[in-house]
Structure 1
């Protein structure tokens, strides 16, 4: 019997080879999913480690110990912490110690960090002199040597220092015997971001400003100097490969061991590490990959079983006469079963063996190409799923052969289809399961559990329903074409509609296209999500974090560094807005369009910037440092003394100040005080009147007759400007009016002044214009001074750069002017455009800004591409390729099986007078038409499936900010996928059609055609 089955396979070797290849691709698809997940696990870990900060790849255990005091607990050293540190596999350990010294810098506010760091010399480049050799030697930084005129061989005297406890003298004071040391050399640090340096911030900017350059020495020198509290630390940094995915459990266990040991050492021990954050991010990325990959793997495996079902069913349908003869001769049931199934089962088993190897090797090749060196290791454990895939393929084959095994001889001899007489059980079951899993997915919002199968079942249920509905339409259209005399097209349509497996073939092609289009949709949406998160989520191409400063200093420095306003913009955060508590972003709106990333489709940034910064009166400016205010008071009670203050801000970036002028005196009186920030002109932010003793009821009046400088050369605010009440604003506790000699203020506060009565210049739009996201329409926001500031919405945005879909955007200059009191900027930043010059940071530093952080949108995009969701989506590309191969293979097999019957039918029609042209069209266009309908329908079903299930996929990253992420793929991407699949499937169909036409013509010639 085996020899007979082998002979049958040889006689139909084309079908057998095609079935072997289909089985190989099907099992390879099943093996590829778990293999890819294991490879992605390694790639996720490697990608996160590669983009991790030094703190996330190292551990620092430190303790402040004072040699002059008896410390509680054990001393921090390798002897007591060593066993726990060594437990970290693949980590390098470095011992360090440091304390502050005086002797190099002349200013006692500036200390020098005196540092011992184990094996420091290989990580320094000596500019002059040499590195450390013996006790009593130090090496200093290049900038320090230049600033203090020091060179190799010089002797310097260092003294241990501690910071003064007296707040009146914020400086370092000597606290030990001086020690003379020799400068052995001057160093430069080639790689300040090297993980060896840990998280100590040795080279961060020091006060001054000056570059961070510790004084390095050996341990004996540091220890023998008379000193007090010393910071001891042990750094453990990961070497390459130490954080591979298969070592993460050991690293976690070692972290737990360090925590236990540090508790035993005693109080004062601090552990600084970002490794737990890194491990959590790796775990989240792996979990996301294990969620995303199965979403496309399930429909791919289901498609593979569908293709096996179709291929075996088509082949068995072509052998119905043979099986009828076997049944007619009364062959025993197991012989009949073997003859019916053996040919298909042997091909499937052979294909399964090849598929096991092909699936793993395919994933290894992809891993080696996409994430080389991290996910390319062969994970043969994924082959444990190969038997399951092979069994599924065998079951699909047996299901396809059920009719040939159980049908009587009369049914096997029929050539017309009988499937239409049976109820659509498969369609109904698939539809019911699709509804159940789809509802589960909608309720949970997470593609796990039953929801994992929702995308696959929805795609296949829709494909089966469309296939059942389309073929009757093709039949009616074919009959209509036949009546109109279009014989070729009519015969092509009838060949499809009357073929037993035509509906199944069409459903399979539609499902294949749907799987590929769904995969392309996910990949496209994910790529755009990453772009949105990197660009709009960052805010600009490059973000520079700035040290503590005032809004006016920030604006002035940025405008000085970028006078044309083409590449830099000052940015700060504002408090929440009113009752909605929306986060706020204040920007130099005149540069918004040139610098900021902007959500597409919303009002252009240039128009929003103009609306946020309309023309406004100029600020009230004092042109001298001796601030002078002249006031005449009338009607104020002596029992309710009041105090007058003025808040000013330098217009040249020198800072802000609250000037307390003193108690208001009866009658005319001049109040003056020297204010250094006004040396180069300053603007008046407001005049404040407060009570001294908390008196409740305040009534009276005062006239401000002069605001300016005592220096007559500098000048004062003009009388016209001062006497115009429209030029000033008082929101509560009184009213303003014009007086012959100035601005009259009538105070009326029966319940007291509270935080004070403010008189502010009108130098901003009022209410302040803001742009808000969504349906938010705030009537007020919290100003920089903490006071309620009325606003009006001038634009509705989809998203504010950096903050997302729930935020308020305002102009930083006007928000600062509207504040009544001098404030510091919250989270000050400078945003840079993509074409910012290379020396932009240097230009900003030259204006006095201290840059403490640098974030680039391109780096964020690189980090997102290394996360689990992005790496998992490469499997979607593989799924699209495999689904296309399965569809093309099934189409070839169907054409091969149909060939003999169609040759017989068309040859008979040619003998009855069918023209060559009509026969040619019937042979050429049958399957191309089917492919065209399948591609169009499949893309539509993919879009429907994506709309129902795509939103549940975590495509935007591990912790995406609230941004307007695109939910739908781009039409051009889907059009490209459709065109590619149409070219492949139609090309295969045309090639098989040409072969069929040639055979039909040969059969016609052999039958006597043309005589």
Structure 2
């Protein structure tokens, strides 16, 4: 029997290859479920860990020395503890450290600083003065800390541990001044902040770390000393299957028995929190991949069923002859199915390799770098499932032919069959109805997610029945009118059940293709929107700027044409237990730089004009201030003072008292200490005498304002208004005319009343996303804390669904005006909760990091819209939807192949029919048009039905499927199709089917000659 099977395979090589390929496809589709799922999970893990900064993925192990114990062996004992756990081998590159927080004296001001030893620290420092050698009683100090404290090499600095009780400062010699070679090198510097010069959020002054190069140099600071080792996580060696073991090992880490007593090992690591977020995404992948892969597997089995049914029908005469020779049923079955069964078994390892190869190629092309196929036991289980399903499909396809009588098997003209509704058909309809209902009700269980595939099956069954009805109606009409062309076309559609099966297959394939393409199109569109929401520009540089003024100066210097760069300041406030962001941007540059879903081009220009209305320039005064004023009256228990509010560069605003008010015309003056290069005059007014709490009343007119250079052109301008801190119940009259600035108030119980020279609009124009941060969510005017920390008056000039880089609860305002307002309250350089950024177009970003560094802005991090899109394309929704797209394309390929194969399998009898018709006088043109009509019906109708069903499925199901990973502040999802993906996919499907039909017609025409009827058939 095996020899007969082998000869049959050689005799029918084309058919054998097709069966082999279909069985391989079924196995590959089955293997895709676990293999692609594992690869996608690994990709998600790699991407998430790579997106973290190196500090977040590092491991720090340390012990706190609170007593006089020997600590020199602690790092080695930590290394021993790590080495005993195999799962910990993914942590590499250990760096030993010792650090203790100290209090310092002897400089310009007392401060705090880390005194630290770090292994090989000299390789990461650049010595400005002195040598990189600091033993006991010696330290290395950073350049900026030395300048601030006015230290030089050779000076002494007093140091003691902040946890030391009744411990005096000990003098240490500064033996070197350093600068970090790369302060942002988190791989070396680890999880501790060594370079934090400046005040902390509580106002405590800190210096950069004071380094020693010998561990013994820190011996005297026992209290609060931390001794430990920093490790790097080797991402290339980390596999998703190792995570649980690593987390368990982290929980078991401890200093070995017999080591230093009194020490407890502390594990500082963020891996657990990161993994929890990753697990949510991996759960989405595990839930979605089978929903997509299983229908594709079923489709492969269905195609195999159709092909085997057609091939077995073609071999019916051979099977009839085998029965005539007296072969038993088992032998006939082996003769009929042996070739297919052998090919299916042989296809299992080949399909396994094909599926794994597809996953490997996909991983190389679209998944995270380093992702590869993971071969696990259940992969072979899915391959076995594919084998069983393929065998059952073959048995089901051949059962009817094998049970037919011999005479039926030997007849050339196929008998007419009926398409009977069965339990499977009814079950498919019931499941589709249930899935659609659950989708409409908002459920997202597995049945609901199978709605596209179930709707495709129902649409296919309905299309097949509609086609049969159309064929019968048109056949009767053709007979009445005597249309040979229609009769030839419709009789094939009416009699041949394989046409209806192909219609089901084509409809399912086109539905899945349309749905997959529509889902991917919408997902891609929303990824672009989300990238714009998250970044707001092509490239974002987070920088370390002293204040908004420095940021704007650098941006103007690097981009004088204002067409490529934009400075941005972001602050976060809390309202209603949620974050509310204020994004202050150089709005005159928005139209060229900003990427905003709600505003584009000319609309951004109009919005920029609303956010930045014309205002006067700030007024600068130097060295001294002299004011001439006429006082009508000034009533208080103690003399009122004429006051001027100024802002010295780099400092908070301060009030200058110019002298007590005297009735009549007088001159008032004061020296402006610190204003040698110019201070900003921001206000004039009246202040109570210190210690006086009486109500105040006054009326005066400021006639002139002068500094060392002469008259200051500030009077007569209508930009004088009460400050934002003036109580609402106080009447403060301000009148600026050509003759001067008139100020008046009566019975005001306030310490001072200042008229502010406004160089920014009040209220400040803003674009609002989300409800207003106010008692009335629909308010268009409200007060809300701004960058300076005080309530500021805002006016909503426009609303948006999302503010770029701000989210769905945010304000967008002008940066220049925000700085001008903030300067009247506080020096923003002391605020540590402000983020400064430079937004750039793709063209302007070339070498921008180096240019920003050269201009004095340290680049802290960089992100780009393209990188954001790349990361989003590997997040769980995109990974699942990409499989939808691949499944749709694979379904179309299977359907086109099935059309070609079933047409080829029946080509012998069709050529005989065509030859007989030609011999009877039917013209070629009639045969050609009948073939076009036939194929137009059973190919064209599924195309239309499948496309419509796919779009309906997309409309129903996609709102229940995550198209993007939505985080806090993410903008709304838009369900909108583009003009390329769906039309392009349908055009490709039409082209593939047209080529297939053309090839079938050409093959039929070549062999349909009268010679076939004289025994010359080929």
TM normalised by structure 1 equals 0.81
Structure 2 partner of 1:355: 351
Equivalent runs, 1:669-748 vs 2, <5 Å:
670=668, 672=670, 674=672, 676=674, 679-684=677-682, 700-705=697-702, 708-709=705-706, 711=707, 713-721=709-717, 733-736=730-733, 738=735, 742-747=740-745
Corresponding residue to 2:826 among 818, 822, 827: 822
Aligned residue number for residue 998 of structure 1: 1006
Shift of residue 347, structure 1, vs aligned partner: 4.8
2:911 pairs, out of 872, 889, 903, with 903
DSSP 3-state at the match of 2:497? coil
Matched, 1:256 2:251: yes
For the residue of structure 2 that corresponds to 1:501, the secondary structure is helix
Aligned counterpart, 1:571:
568
In 2, distance between residues paired with 1:174 and 1:238?
41
Q: 1:273 aligns with which of 258, 269, 283?
A: 269
Helix, strand or coil: the match of 2:906? Answer: helix
1:457 to 454, 457, 461: 454
SS in 1 for 2:43: helix
Measure the CA separation in 2 of the matches of 1:106 and 1:726.
42
Cα contact 2:768–2:811 (8 A) shared by 1: yes
d(CA) in 2 for partners of 1:832, 1:720: 39
| Residues 815 and 596 (structure 1), Cα distance of their counterparts in 2 relative to 1, 3 Å cut | same
Deviation at 1:402, TM superposition (A): 5.8
Q: Of the candidates 436, 439, 456, which is equivalent to residue 437 of structure 2? A: 439
CA distances 1:258-312 after superposition (whole Å, capped 9, x unpaired):
48999x9989986543323443344344334323433421221121122123223
What is residue 794 of structure 1 aligned with on the other side? Answer: 797
Seen in structure 2, the aligned counterparts of structure 1 residues 941 and 550 have a Cα distance that, compared at 3 Å, is same
User: 1:537 is paired with a residue of what secondary structure?
Assistant: helix
Inter-partner Cα distance in structure 2 for 1:718 and 1:494: 97
Do 2:95 and 2:230's aligned partners in 1 also have CA atoms closer than 8 Å?
Answer: yes
Whether the 8 Å contact between 1:160 and 1:227 is mirrored in structure 2 is no
**1:610 and 2:608 are equivalent in the alignment:** yes
Note closer, same or farther for the CA distance 1:897–1:179 as it changes in structure 2 (3 Å cut).
same
Summarize the Cα distance change of 1:918–1:551 in structure 2 as closer, same or farther, 3 Å threshold: same
Q: 2:765 aligns with which of 769, 772, 777?
A: 769
> What's 2:775 paired with?
none
Match for 1:193 among 162, 168, 185? 185
Contact preservation (8 Å) 2:584, 2:813: yes
Q: 1: CA distance between counterparts of 2:899 and 2:676? A: 84
Structure 1 match to 2:21: 21
Change (3 A) 1:133 1:470: farther
Whether the 8 Å contact between 1:26 and 1:305 is mirrored in structure 2 is: yes
CA spacing shift, 1:762–1:41, aligned 2, 3 Å: closer
TM-aligned CA deviation for residue 587 of structure 1? 1.4
Shift of 1:938: 3.1
Of the candidates 986, 997, 1007, which is equivalent to residue 989 of structure 1?
Answer: 997
CA distance in 2: counterparts of 1:907 and 1:19, whole angstroms: 29
Q: Is the 8 A contact 2:102 2:112 kept in 1?
A: yes
Greater Cα offset, 410-419 or 941-950: 410-419
The CA deviation string for residues 902-958 of structure 1, in whole angstroms up to 9 with x for no partner, is 223323322321112322444577447644544444333332222222334444247
SS in 2 for 1:736: strand
TM superposition shift of 1:181: 6.0
Aligned to 2:298: 302
Specify which of 515, 520, 542 is matched with residue 518 of structure 1: 515
**8 Å CA contact 2:625, 2:708 repeated in 1:** no
1:811 matched residue in structure 2: 814
Secondary structure in 2 aligned to 1:42?
helix
- Please state how far the C-alpha of 1:512 moved relative to its aligned partner: 1.8
Q: Which residue matches 2:38?
A: 38
CA positional deviation for 1:486: 7.6
Q: Deviations over 1:225-283 (max 9, x none)?
A: 88976443321222354422232222211222248999x99899865433234433443
Equivalent pair of 1:723/1:738 in contact (CA under 8 Å): no
Distance verdict in 2 for CA 1:54–1:9, change over 3 Å: closer
SS in 2 for 1:676: coil
Of 230, 240, 248, 1:245 maps to 240
- RMSD over aligned CA atoms reads 5.3
Q: 1:721, 1:727 within 8 Å by CA — same for their partners in 2?
A: no
Residue 782 of structure 1: aligned partner:
783
Structure 1: unaligned runs, 5 residues or longer: 166-172
Structure 2 unmatched runs, 5+: 201-205, 773-777
2:844 is matched with: 836
Matched, 1:236 2:234: no
CA distance in 1, matches of 2:370, 2:837: 38
1:324 and 1:409 in contact (8 A); partners too: yes
Partner of 2:89: 89
- Write the mapping of 1:100-115 to structure 2, written as runs, cut at 5 A: 115=116
Aligned partners of 2:133 and 2:175 also within 8 Å: no
Shift in alpha-carbon separation, 1:1008–1:204, aligned structure 2, 3 A: same
The answer to whether 1:176 aligns with 2:174 is no
Cα distance, 1:187–1:404 mapped onto 2, change above 3 Å? same
Structure 1 residue 684: Cα displacement? 1.5
User: How far has the Cα of 1:215 moved from its partner?
Assistant: 7.3
What displacement does 1:996 show? 1.6
CA distance in 1, matches of 2:721, 2:119: 70
Q: Judge conservation of contact 1:617–1:763 (CA < 8 Å) in 2.
A: yes
1:26 is displaced (CA, Å) by 1.7
Structure 1 residue 768 displacement after superposition: 3.8
Residues 779 and 213 of structure 1: CA distance in aligned 2, closer, same or farther (over 3 Å): closer
Corresponding position of 1:386: 383
Over 3 Å counting, the alpha-carbon distance change for 1:53 and 1:182 in structure 2 is closer
Post-superposition Cα deviations, 1:188-208, rounded to whole Å, max 9, x if no partner, equal: 848963624323355788899
1:191/1:326 Cα in 2 relative to 1: closer, same or farther (>3 Å)? farther
CA contact (8 A) 2:573 2:580 kept: yes
May I ask how many residue pairs the two structures share in their alignment? 983
Partner residue in 1 for 2:203: none
- State the Cα distance separating 1:659 from its structure 2 match: 1.8
Instruction: Give the alignment of 1:554-633 within 5 angstroms.
Output: 554-556=551-553, 558-560=555-557, 562-573=559-570, 583-599=581-597, 604=602, 606-619=604-617, 621-626=619-624
Task: Kindly indicate whether the alpha-carbon contact (under 8 Å) linking 1:543 and 1:831 is maintained by their aligned counterparts in 2.
Answer: yes
Aligned to 1:169: none
What is the alpha-carbon distance in structure 1 between the residues aligned to residue 702 and residue 91 of structure 2? 73
1:106-255 alignment runs, 5 A limit: 115-119=116-120, 161=159, 175-178=169-172, 189=181, 193=185, 195-202=187-194, 218-220=213-215, 222-223=217-218, 230-239=225-234, 241-255=236-250
For 1:142 and 1:675, the matched residues in 2 are separated by 28
Which stretch of the first structure deviates more once superposed, 580-589 or 478-487? 478-487
- For 1:972 and 1:945, how far apart are their aligned partners in 2? 19
Name whichever of 542-551 and 631-640 sits farther off: 631-640
- SS of the residue corresponding to residue 700 of structure 2 reads strand
SS at 2:97's partner residue? strand
Give the whole-Å Cα distance in 2 for the aligned partners of 1:577 and 1:42: 36
* Partners of 2:100 and 2:161 within 8 A in 1: no
User: Following TM superposition, by how much is the alpha carbon of 1:897 offset from its aligned partner in structure 2, in angstroms?
Assistant: 2.9
- In the superposition, relative to structure 1, how do residues 511 and 708 fare at CA in structure 2: closer, same or farther (>3 Å)? farther
- Classify the secondary structure of the residue corresponding to 2:230: strand
Residues 303-334 of structure 1: CA deviation (Å, up to 9, x unaligned): 11221232233345556677789999999876
**Residues 314 and 272 from structure 1, CA distance in 2 versus in 1: closer, same or farther, beyond 3 angstroms?**
same
Between 432-441 and 399-408, the greater mean CA deviation after superposition: 399-408
